């Protein structure tokens, strides 16, 4: 009986000791989410959109720069890491599309139509990923 009482006495202490450890994981997730959001918000992506080829090239470079900066963030939360890997791939697709748009002649209607479709696909994927990241970081999804 004495061992049972000792174990029961230790249970609340063990639980109390484990709570800060569990909270550390959540704090890390919040810190990582905040760093991601801060990095994206600091980028100039979207500022160079237009039909000028130099602006399209600048936009492509900005997307690649953002992808690199996001990849440099040490993300330990597995859920956020997966979302950011997907977001990085989408940024590369966006950069590739902008680079192609800068090089496609105005007379290449087929090429331009393919780019319009690709732009729609990339925009849809970006919207979906942004929503998932926001939900994940706000605690609305796991």
Looking at the chain, the whole-number percentage of residues with pLDDT higher than 70 is: 80
Cβ pair 43, 69 in contact under 8 A:
yes
Of 67, 100, 101, 72, the closest CA to residue 86 belongs to 67
Angle at 25 between CA 135 and CA 75, to 5 degrees: 70
- Mean pLDDT, all residues of the chain: 81
φ, ψ (nearest 5 deg) of residue 40: -65, -45
Q: What is the DSSP string of 43-112?
A: S-TTTT-SS-HHHHHHHHHHHHHHHHHHHHS----HHHHHHHHHHHHHHHHHHHHHHHHHHS-TT-HHHH
Mean pLDDT across 32-55: 85
Written as six digits, the tokens of 48 are 């160079």
Q: What are phi and psi of 115, to 5 degrees?
A: -65, -35
- Quote the pLDDT of residue 48: 65
**96-141 tens-digit pLDDT:** 999 999 999 989 999 989 998 998 999 999 999 999 999 999 887 6
Q: What's the confidence (pLDDT) of residue 2?
A: 37
Q: What average pLDDT does range 65-91 have in this prediction?
A: 95
> CB of 82 within 8 A of CB of 110?
no
For the residues 31-54, what does the mean pLDDT come to? 86
Amino acid 17: pLDDT = 40
Closest CA to 59 of 117, 3, 119, 17: 119
Using DSSP's 3-state secondary structure scheme, residue 31 falls into helix
Question: In the prediction, which pLDDT does 142 show?
Answer: 57
């Amino acid at each position: 009986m004495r061992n049972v009482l000792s174990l029961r006495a230790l249970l609340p202490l063990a639980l109390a000791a484990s709570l800060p450890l569990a909270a550390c994981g959540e704090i890390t997730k919040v810190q990582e989410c905040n760093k991601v959001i801060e990095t994206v918000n600091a980028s100039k992506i979207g500022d160079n959109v237009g039909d000028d080829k130099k602006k399209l090239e600048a936009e492509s470079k900005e997307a690649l720069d953002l992808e690199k900066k996001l990849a440099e963030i040490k993300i330990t939360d597995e859920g956020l890491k997966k979302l950011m890997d997907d977001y990085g791939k989408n940024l590369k697709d966006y950069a590739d599309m902008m680079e192609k748009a800068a090089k496609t002649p105005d007379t290449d209607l087929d090429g331009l139509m393919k780019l319009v479709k690709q732009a729609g696909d990339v925009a849809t994927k970006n919207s979906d990923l942004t929503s998932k990241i926001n939900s994940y970081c706000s605690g609305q999804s796991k």
